[in-house]
């Protein structure tokens, strides 16, 4: 609504809202208090800008850094740790006694929370800044009349009442009432979905309640001028424009949680329950044997801290950081490969996609129409050299054509007309000279109902009309034909011949345009009846050469590709067959008209065997996406126009075209293809799968390392009535493993063979699927060898007190060093199994970021080796290395090495057994 106009005019503006086409330009100028000869003054423009705001669509506000930092403490894992620390402090206050290890343990809990929050905040800010930099827009200048002078003004400073000058090839900067124009044609496909250019004029329209596409004297924001130029009066800007109204409705939709967020939440709850069970068991057992424990451990608040620490250790606190880190790294890599991710969270969803719904034009095809084959003189001509002698045929297409050449020698116009002009140029036909030689004196513009356009030209003392359009409509209005310059009647047999040839062209994926003419006695004659059929051209938008291989890669990776297009059913099927979308399994083509006749249940069943949808509307696209999702698929949807936004918003991942896409489409999407290429989508899926794999590996590593520690403590407590690790040891292990070791795993290099992995079978598939055996093997063997270290210390030491101290040292070395070492090889142990059940080749192994891991390892190794022999450090960590026999040290180190080797050998054996079972099962089938 135009809020900045005076109160006296506000009622009038409300009454005329959406009906500017009924008012003259002078009346509108009066409403807006604008002089069409002078424009607004700079002062008036400045005042209106304050009231209307900038002429742009709103972007999301950048959150405050402090707010981001505070939000990190709301993470469930962080809350659990904070509550655990609080409980321990309260217990210490009640007991009125806290030992040095107790205080140290609390300090470590605080250190872990603060460290994780700082890292998470840093990564969040870094990611936001990077995403923000991707969305930076270049300044767009437009010609505006102000103070009687035409000036170049930033499009964002445009205000209602401005007088704008726009020309060929420029985008309309706001909703404009056309004041003056010159042979004006505008592409409104981004707003209305209509592919043909719309002819505009400045004439007042008296009809009422017109839809946008029929408002011929209004130019709408974000549409483009294909021919001519205009002078326009700005009606609405920003959100008040037609495109802005659509954007405001769409961009306010609630952002749903991604599948990964839901899975992490579910996993956190499960691990939290397990942690509580472990903590409760440890507290119960320790209180039960309290009198048998060392005096220093008998205080109930100390035992509570031990139980709380053990419970905390089960929880993978760094998981949130690893996820954010993986997303940020992937975002940068994807942007370098023409995949711009607006929301990093959508990367994982893209990796889990198992259905990609793609538009045909520009994404699967080159969006470069070119004339390929011909039907002239009632003969099929695959070679253009065969028709160069038929000047009448070529002249007809040159004259009945609205494409133009701008001063930069660029051909602008509809895709088919540009293709025809380029073909004429290749045949050395100067279409501009022909237009001068045979000037256009009248025309009937293209109409989506008639599917034809007609131009009338003066040829010396008589007139000739040329009609171009869909062959079936053209044929219905033709009564004669011309062959080798001879005109004769068009028989039923002739019509069959033309229809069969047109069908053959369409079957090959081509668009067919027929051409006919008529010699007029005068301009009062009917232009489009009793036509003389000349021939037809077959125009093709060829598939991108790299797309077929990309689709094969997607199919091999378990991703189904669905093509949704407005093209003819036969054309769509042909293109789909060429690209490998139309297959034996998916061997149906459904049209929009057929969708309207089917019930939801019938359509849902047909979708299971259909990969090609033709002649569909935007509403059909949204229905298709919805039904695919109801079948538990994770769906990605591509689009470029505003009419695609409902389906893009509905999809799990909305993908907008960066070149041909509208601003609104890009605004509501999750991902933008900077090159409009389907191949880039497949790259995005690969990147998403790598992120998902790294996160799963990190989860596997964290759970195995953490649970093995708790199991060791529980076993030794039950069997030996001793405490293998105290709260400080446990919490320090958390700090080292969670913060320093686990994070580099999430920073590993991408693995090309990740596409061999099958996508999740459904959205709710557990994060633990596929890594449970990894966790079981690693946890079991890590716990076993840590316990053996404790038992060896008891066996080789006569003094019970020293045996207890040396046993703690053995457990500490095993629990601390084994994960640090096997983190280098962890993902090489657990090479993923592809969907055929076979182990991924060694050359496709997941390679870690060794440089970062080596630095972490050396830093920890030096720190621990330095700290362990120091007596004060021993007391702090509650174990002793003073007098530790060299033989025991050798045993501890050997067992740590055996931990790593046994994990590797056991998993390799498991893989071989699984492969044998898979092959046996496949052979039986």
Tens-digit pLDDT profile for residues 789-807: 988 988 888 877 788 778 8
> Pick from 229, 251, 273: which residue ends a domain?
251
Q: Quick one: pLDDT band at residue 302, thresholds 50, 70, 90? A: low
Give the pLDDT of residue 55. 87
If you average pLDDT over residues 130-138, what whole number do you get? 55
Residues 6+ apart with CB under 8 A from 635: 353, 355, 356, 357, 625, 628, 629, 651, 652, 653
Mean pLDDT, residues 131-140: 58
Q: pTM of the full predicted structure? A: 0.68
Query: Domain check: are 446 and 515 in the same one?
Result: yes
Looking at residues 314-340, what average pLDDT do you find? 81
Q: Are residues 530 and 600 in the same domain?
A: no
Residues 70, 74: Cα–Cα separation, whole Å:
7
In the chain, what percentage of residues exceed pLDDT 90?
Answer: 17
Say how many domains are in the chain.
4
Q: What is the mean pLDDT of residues 446-463?
A: 84
Supply 102's token pair: 């107790």
Mean pLDDT of the chain: 79
Lowest-confidence range among 21-25, 336-340, 469-473, 743-747?
743-747
pLDDT at residue number 796:
83
Which class for 924: exposed (0-12), middle (13-18), buried (19 or more C-beta within 10 A)?
exposed
Model pLDDT, residue 14: 33
Least confidently predicted of 69-83, 366-380, 904-918: 69-83
Q: Which of 189, 219, 251 is the last residue of a domain?
A: 251
Alpha carbons 856 and 851: distance in angstroms, whole number: 9
Residue pLDDT, tens place only, 583-604: 889 989 999 889 989 999 999 9
Question: Is residue 753 one of the residues assigned to a domain?
Answer: no
Mean pLDDT, to the nearest integer, of 28-44? 89
Tracing tokens 């044997």 back to the chain, one arrives at: 289
Q: Is residue 744 part of a domain?
A: no
314 located within any domain: no
Q: Has residue 663 got a pLDDT over 70?
A: no
pLDDT at position 595: 92
**In the predicted model, what is the mean pLDDT of residues 710-734?**
78
Q: Contact, 236 vs 248, CB < 8 A?
A: no
Tell me the average pLDDT across 96-119.
Answer: 68
Higher pLDDT, 762 or 658: 658
pLDDT given for residue 642 in this prediction: 64
Answer whether 433's CB lies under 8 Å from 377's CB: no
| Triad 769, 771, 774: Cα angle to 5° | 155
DSSP 76-131: HHHHHHHHHHHHHHHHHHHHT---HHHHHHHHHHHHHHHHHHHHHHHHHHHHHHHH
- Are residues 10 and 17 in contact, defined by beta-carbon separation less than 8 angstroms? no
Q: Which of 784, 853, 841, 858 is nearest to 814 (CA)?
A: 784
Give catalytic residues, as residue numbers: 359
Domain that holds residue 452: 370-540
Identify the CA nearest to 395 among candidates 432, 340, 442, 445: 432
pLDDT, average across residues 382-409 = 79
Distance CA 765, CA 45 (A): 56
Partnered with residue 787 across adjacent β-strands are none
- Indicate whether 515 and 553 sit together in one domain: no
Give CA–CA dist 246/192, Å, rounded: 12
Q: How far apart are the C-alpha atoms of 355 and 359, rounded to whole Å? A: 13
Radius of gyration of the chain (CA): 36
Q: Strand pairing partners for 236?
A: 175
- Least confident among 212-216, 526-530, 878-882: 878-882
Residue 324 located in a structural domain: no
User: For position 462, which CATH number holds?
Assistant: 3.40.1110.10
Q: What mean pLDDT do residues 196-212 have?
A: 81
Given a cut of 90, whether residue 920 has pLDDT beyond it is no
- Residue 296 is assigned to a structural domain of this protein: no
- Report, in this order, helix, strand and coil percent for the chain, each rounded to 5: 55, 15, 30
Task: Please write down the HEC assignment for all residues of 346-370.
Answer: HHHHHHHCCEEEEECCCCCECCCCE
Rounded to the nearest angstrom, the gap between the alpha carbon of residue 332 and the centroid of all alpha carbons in its chain is 14
Cα–Cα distances (Å) from 470 to 337, 370, 510, in that order, read 39, 17, 12
- Looking at residue 836, its pLDDT comes to 38
Q: Reduced to 3 states, what is the DSSP secondary structure of residue 749?
A: coil
Q: How many angstroms separate the first and last alpha carbons of the chain?
A: 68
Tell me whether residue 426 is exposed, middle or buried, using C-beta atoms within 10 angstroms of its C-beta: 0 to 12, 13 to 18, 19 or more.
exposed
* Position 305 pLDDT exceeds 50: yes
Residue 486 sits in the same domain as residue 563: no
Structural domain includes residue 311: no
The tokens of 547 are what?
A: 């797309």
Higher pLDDT, 148 or 718: 148
What is the rounded distance in angstroms from the CA atom of residue 739 to the CA atom of residue 316?
Answer: 10
| 440 lies in the same domain as 571 | no
pLDDT for 515: 95
Query: What is the reported pLDDT for 720?
Result: 78
Residue 398 binned pLDDT confidence (cut-offs 50, 70, 90):
very high
Find the length of the chain: 925
CB 465 within 8 A of CB 518: yes
Instruction: Enter the DSSP assignment of 56.
Output: S
Counting Cβ atoms within 10 Å, is residue 485 exposed (0-12), middle (13-18) or buried (19+)?
A: exposed
Lowest-confidence range among 321-325, 532-536, 697-701? 321-325
Instruction: Write down the residue that tokens 């021993």 correspond to.
Output: 874
> Is residue 479 classed as helix, strand or coil in its secondary structure?
strand
Q: Report the pLDDT value the prediction gives residue 118, as an integer from 0 to 100.
A: 80
Nearest to 494, CA basis, from 511, 506, 482: 482
Residue 488 tokens read as 């004769």
pLDDT value, residue 197: 74
Per-residue pLDDT for 524 more than 70?
yes
The answer to whether 372 and 538 have CB atoms below 8 angstroms apart is yes
Q: Tokens 């970062």: give the residue.
A: 852
Is the confidence at residue 531, as pLDDT, over 70? Answer: yes
**CATH number (domain holding residue 650):** 3.40.50.1000
* Integer Cα distance of 103 and 92 in angstroms: 10
Please state whether beta strands 149-154 and 486-489 pair in parallel, antiparallel, or not at all (unpaired).
unpaired
Residue 662 inside a domain? The answer is yes
At residue 145, does pLDDT exceed 50? yes
Confidence of residue 267 (pLDDT cuts 50, 70, 90): confident
The per-residue pLDDT for range 152-163, each reduced to its tens digit, is 898 889 999 999
Same-domain check for residues 178 and 247: yes
Residue 521 burial (CB < 10 Å; 0-12/13-18/19+)?
Answer: exposed
163 belongs to a structural domain: yes
Q: What is the pLDDT of residue 883?
A: 66
Please identify, among 540, 562, 584, the residue that sits at the C-terminal boundary of a domain. Answer: 540
Same domain, 146 and 183: yes
- CATH assignment at residue 202: 2.70.150.10
Q: What is the mean pLDDT of residues 162-177?
A: 86
More confident residue, 249 or 734: 734
Regarding whether 914 and 864 lie in a shared domain, the answer is: yes
Q: Do residues 395 and 357 share a domain?
A: no
Alpha helix ranges (H) inside 208-299: 242-251, 259-288
Same domain membership, residue 46 and residue 25: yes
Q: Do residues 393 and 426 both lie within one domain?
A: yes
pLDDT at 10: 36
Across residues 391-408, what is the average pLDDT?
Answer: 85
Same domain, 38 and 159: yes
């Amino acid at each position: 609504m135009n809020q900045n106009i005076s109160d006296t005019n506000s009622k009038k503006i409300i009454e005329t809202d959406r009906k500017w086409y009924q008012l003259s330009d002078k009346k509108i100028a009066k409403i807006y208090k604008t002089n069409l000869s002078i424009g607004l003054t700079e002062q008036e423009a400045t005042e209106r800008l304050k009231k209307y705001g900038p002429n742009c669509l709103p972007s999301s506000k950048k959150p405050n850094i402090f707010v981001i930092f505070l939000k990190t403490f709301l993470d469930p894992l962080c809350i659990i740790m904070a509550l655990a620390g609080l409980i321990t402090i309260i217990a210490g206050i009640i007991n009125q006694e806290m030992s040095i290890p107790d205080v140290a343990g609390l300090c470590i809990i605080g250190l872990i929370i603060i460290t994780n929050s700082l890292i998470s905040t840093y990564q969040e800010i870094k990611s936001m800044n990077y995403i923000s930099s991707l969305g930076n827009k270049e300044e767009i200048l437009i010609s505006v009349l102000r103070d009687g002078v035409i000036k170049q003004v930033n499009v964002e400073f445009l205000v209602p009442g401005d007088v704008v000058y726009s020309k060929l090839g420029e985008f309309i900067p706001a909703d404009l009432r056309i004041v003056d124009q010159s042979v004006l044609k505008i592409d409104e496909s981004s707003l209305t979905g209509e592919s043909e250019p719309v002819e505009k004029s400045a004439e007042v329209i008296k009809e009422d309640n017109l839809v946008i596409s029929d408002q011929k004297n209004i130019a709408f924001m974000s549409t483009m001028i294909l021919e001519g130029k205009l002078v326009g009066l700005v009606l609405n800007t920003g959100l008040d424009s037609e495109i802005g109204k659509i954007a405001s409705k769409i961009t306010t939709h609630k952002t749903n949680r991604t599948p990964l967020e839901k899975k992490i939440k579910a996993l956190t709850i499960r691990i939290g329950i397990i942690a509580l069970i472990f903590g409760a068991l440890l507290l119960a057992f320790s209180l039960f044997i309290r009198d048998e424990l060392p005096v220093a451990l008998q205080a109930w608040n100390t035992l509570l801290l031990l139980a709380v620490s053990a419970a905390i250790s089960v929880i993978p606190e760094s998981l949130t950081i690893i996820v954010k880190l993986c997303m940020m790294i992937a975002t940068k890599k994807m942007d370098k490969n023409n995949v711009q991710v607006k929301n990093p969270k959508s990367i994982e969803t893209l990796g889990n996609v198992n259905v990609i719904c793609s538009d045909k034009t520009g994404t699967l095809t080159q969006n470069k129409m070119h004339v390929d084959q011909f039907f002239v003189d009632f003969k099929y001509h695959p070679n253009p050299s065969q028709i160069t002698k038929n000047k009448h045929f070529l002249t007809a297409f040159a004259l009945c054509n609205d494409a133009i050449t701008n001063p930069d020698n660029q051909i602008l116009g509809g895709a088919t007309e540009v293709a025809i002009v380029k073909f004429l140029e290749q045949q050395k036909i100067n279409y501009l000279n022909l237009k001068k030689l045979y000037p256009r004196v009248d025309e009937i513009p293209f109409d989506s109902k008639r599917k034809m356009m007609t131009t009338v030209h003066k040829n010396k003392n008589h007139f000739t009309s040329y009609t171009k359009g869909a062959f079936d409509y053209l044929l219905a209005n033709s009564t004669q034909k011309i062959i080798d310059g001879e005109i004769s009647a068009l028989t039923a047999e002739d019509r069959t011949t033309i229809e069969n040839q047109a069908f053959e062209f369409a079957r090959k994926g081509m668009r067919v345009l027929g051409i006919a003419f008529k010699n007029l006695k005068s301009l009062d004659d009917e232009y489009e009846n009793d036509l003389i059929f000349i021939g037809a051209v077959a125009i093709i938008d060829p598939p991108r050469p790299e797309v077929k291989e990309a689709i094969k890669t997607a199919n091999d990776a378990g991703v189904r590709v669905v093509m949704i297009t407005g093209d003819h059913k036969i054309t769509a099927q042909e293109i789909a067959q060429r690209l490998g979308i139309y297959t034996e399994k998916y061997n149906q083509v459904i049209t929009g008209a057929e969708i309207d006749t089917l019930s939801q249940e019938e359509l849902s069943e047909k979708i299971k065997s259909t990969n090609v949808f033709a002649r569909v509307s935007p509403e059909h696209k949204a229905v298709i996406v919805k039904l695919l999702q109801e079948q538990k698929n994770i769906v990605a949807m591509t689009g470029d126009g505003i009419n695609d936004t409902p389906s893009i918003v509905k999809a799990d991942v909305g993908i907008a075209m960066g070149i041909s896409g509208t601003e609104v489409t890009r605004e509501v999407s999750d991902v933008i293809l900077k090159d409009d290429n389907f191949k880039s989508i497949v790259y995005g899926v690969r990147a998403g799968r790598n992120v998902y794999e790294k996160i799963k590996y990190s989860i596997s590593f964290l759970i195995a390392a953490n649970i093995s520690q708790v199991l060791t403590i529980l076993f030794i407590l039950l069997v030996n009535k001793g405490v293998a690790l105290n709260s400080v040891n446990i919490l320090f292990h958390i700090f080292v493993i969670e913060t320093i070791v686990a994070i580099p795993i999430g920073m590993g290099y991408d693995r090309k063979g990740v596409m061999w992995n099958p996508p999740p079978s459904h959205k709710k598939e557990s994060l633990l699927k596929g890594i449970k055996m990894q966790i079981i093997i690693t946890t079991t063997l890590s716990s076993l060898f840590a316990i053996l270290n404790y038992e060896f210390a008891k066996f080789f030491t006569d003094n019970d007190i020293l045996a207890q101290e040396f046993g703690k040292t053995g457990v500490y070395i095993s629990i601390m060093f084994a994960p640090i070492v096997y983190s280098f090889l962890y993902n090489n142990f657990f090479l993923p199994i592809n969907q055929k059940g076979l182990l991924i080749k060694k050359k496709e192994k997941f390679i870690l970021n060794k440089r970062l891991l080596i630095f972490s390892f050396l830093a920890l190794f030096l720190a621990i080796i330095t700290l362990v022999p120091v007596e004060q450090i021993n007391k702090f960590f509650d174990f002793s290395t003073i007098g530790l026999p060299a033989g025991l040290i050798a045993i501890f180190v050997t067992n740590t090495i055996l931990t790593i080797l046994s994990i590797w050998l056991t998993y390799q054996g498991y893989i071989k057994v699984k492969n044998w079972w898979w092959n046996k099962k496949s052979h039986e089938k």
